[in-house]
Amino acid sequence: MCRDSWGRYLVSERYIYLVKNLRGVLAVDKNSDIDRTIKWLSRKYKYRDLGVPPCILENRVISREYLDGNPFHLLEYPDNTIREYLSRFVDVLSKKIWSCLAESLLFASVYASPLHLDVDAYSRLRDAGFVIHVVEGPLLDDNSAKLHLRIVDYSVLDSYIDSISEVASCISRSCSSSDLQSMRLSRATRDEKRYWRIRSKGDYPVVVYLDYVHYVYQADPLLVASASRDARILLAQLVGFNLGSIESLALS
């Protein structure tokens, strides 16, 4: 967010609308079958507002019929400060994962929104060490998936402010990257009780708690420590839903 000469915050009305209404940010890997995922989401979640980072459209074609809220919206940067910091974070993260997948993580933090991870994105983030905790459960039918997609949204919102504040506080005390990761893990394990309906009732990874901040802090401490007050929206605890745990999508 930026300020005018009077010190007032200036953001676009579109950004405000999406922060209020967005229910997820799509995240895919470089070789994901994106057409299959897009078609399934547009059919099953037609009335949800889902975000698509610009880089996905730069690398893949998404039919116009699915954009402008059917159900996807092309995401935008709130201002140039966020754009600059986001780009610098992506440069660090792209040493471990595809740059577009990194951008999706950061947009989820910018929009206080959960990630909708396709199975390839989940696997890549797990292998990169950005998955810190997983709630396993059974393969979900559509109704159960819709319910838990809503619950994941609450996981993000309930932790958003505190998870950013604790990073700032930790860095002010010159804590280590492992300290940051431990805090994230502790927060995730406390939160997982809200998934009592599915927890330990299967071995499919359903809800995914993610953290990239500890890695960025380890690789470039100054980048995190010097983040402006506005850019701290890039430091939130992330939670994702693994679309590969939905039976009808897995079988489609």
**pLDDT reported for residue 240:** 97
* 59 band by pLDDT with thresholds 50, 70 and 90: confident
Where are the chain's structural domains? 2-251
Over range 48-77, report the average pLDDT: 87
**pLDDT reported for residue 230:** 84
pLDDT, one tens digit per residue, over 89-126 is 999 999 999 999 999 999 999 999 999 999 999 999 99
**pLDDT reported for residue 28:** 95
Over range 16-33, report the average pLDDT: 92
* 10 band by pLDDT with thresholds 50, 70 and 90: low
More confident residue, 114 or 65: 114
**pLDDT reported for residue 249:** 85
% of the chain surpassing 70 pLDDT:
96
pLDDT reading at 2 higher than 70: no
Chain-wide mean pLDDT for the chain? Answer: 90
* 7 band by pLDDT with thresholds 50, 70 and 90: very low
* 5 band by pLDDT with thresholds 50, 70 and 90: very low
Q: Which H, E and C letters describe the chain, residue by residue?
A: CEECCCCCEECCHHHHHHHHHEEEEEECCCCCCHHHHHHHHHHHCCCCEEEECHHHHHHCCCCHHHCCCCCEEECCCCCHHHHHHHHHHHHHHCCCCCHHHHHHHHHHHHCCCCEEECHHHHHHHHHHCCEEEEEEECCECHHHHHHHHHHHHHHHHHHHHHHHHHHHHHHHCCCCHHHHHHHHHHHHHHHHHHHCCCCCCCCEEEEEEECCHHHHHHHCHHHHHCCCCHHHHHCCCEEEEEHHHEHHHHHC
pLDDT reading at 8 higher than 50: no
**pLDDT reported for residue 114:** 97
pLDDT, one tens digit per residue, over 217-237 is 999 999 999 888 888 999 999
